[in-house]
Amino acid sequence: MRYDRAAFRAVIEETLRGVPAELRQAVDNLEFLLAEWPTPEQLGSVGLEDDDLLFGLYEGTPIPDRENDVPVLPDIITLFWGPLLEACETEEELREEIRKTILHELAHYFGFDEDRLDELGYG
C-alpha cells in the first residue's frame, strides 16, 4: 500500500479536529513530525529493539512536569510511516492506527504514563 506524506498529514489534521476543543486549546508548543523509521536511540528511549515496530513517539516535557517560568523547546510527536505501513493491510486499518497513535502520544503530552493509558484502553 502506498501512502504519501500529504495523506499522512491529512489524517493527522482530521484526528486533531476530532479532539475535544478544551484539549485542543490546551495544546501549546507541540510539533508533529513524520519520519520513515525510528532511530535506534528513539527505540531505546522506550525500551524497544531494532526489530520492534514503533508507530509514534512523544518527546518533550509533559504538561504536568513543566515549571511555568522555565521556557522549553517545542515538544514533538513523531509518526513513523514505515512501521505503520508494514503493520496495516488496508487504508481503513492504517487510518485507524494513525488516529490511535496520535491520541496515544497526545496523552503522553498531557502527562499520562503507559500504565494509565492501558487502564483507559489506549495502550
Q: Whose CA is closest to 84, among 53, 50, 48?
A: 53
Beta bridge partners of 80: 35
Q: Give the pLDDT confidence score for residue 54 in this predicted structure.
A: 96
User: Tell me: the pLDDT tens digits for 27-86?
Assistant: 888 999 999 999 999 999 999 988 889 999 999 989 888 887 777 789 999 999 999 999
Question: What are the residue ranges spanned by the domains of the chain?
Answer: 5-65+72-120
Q: pTM higher than 0.75 for the full model?
A: yes
HEC sequence for 78-103: EEEHHHHHHHCCCHHHHHHHHHHHHH
Structure-model confidence comparison of residues 70 and 93, the more confident one: 93
Q: Which CATH architecture describes the domain 5-65+72-120?
A: 2-Layer Sandwich (3.30)
Mean pLDDT for the stretch of residues 103-117: 88
15: pLDDT confidence band, cut at 50, 70 and 90?
confident
Cβ 50 vs Cβ 40: under 8 Å: yes
Q: What percent of the chain stands above pLDDT 70? A: 96
Mean pLDDT, the chain, whole residue set = 88
Report the length, in residues, of the chain: 123
Half-sphere exposure of 58 (CA within 13 A, CB side): 20
122: pLDDT confidence band, cut at 50, 70 and 90?
low
Q: Give the pLDDT confidence score for residue 123 in this predicted structure.
A: 67
